Amino acid sequence: MSCLTRNLQRQLMRYIQKHNAELATLQPDHLRELLVLKGVCPSDVTADQLSVIIQQAEHA
């Protein structure tokens, strides 16, 4: 996750935790597209990076 700052990782993790009910059924690539369209996530974040953040959000 070299392109992500710790602050951005925390912000994405909080967003995913806060909106878990509506995001829970989405695959990481679809979630990435949705977050990019909403302006929450930069477009250079990969689906793999987002899946790691999702796992961290679930265990936090």
Q: How many domains does the chain have?
A: 1
Query: Considering the domain boundaries, does residue 12 fall inside one?
Result: yes
The structure tokens listed for 26 are 């989405």
Q: What is the pLDDT of residues 2-58, one digit of tens each?
A: 568 899 999 999 999 999 888 888 999 999 999 999 999 999 999 999 999 999 988
Query: Considering the domain boundaries, does residue 1 fall inside one?
Result: no
Question: Domain range holding 20?
Answer: 6-59
For residue 11, the model assigns a pLDDT of: 94
DSSP string covering 1-60: -TTS-HHHHHHHHHHHHHTHHHHTTS-HHHHHHHHHHHTSS-TT--HHHHHHHHHHHHH-
Query: Considering the domain boundaries, does residue 49 fall inside one?
Result: yes
0.95 cut: is pTM over it?
no
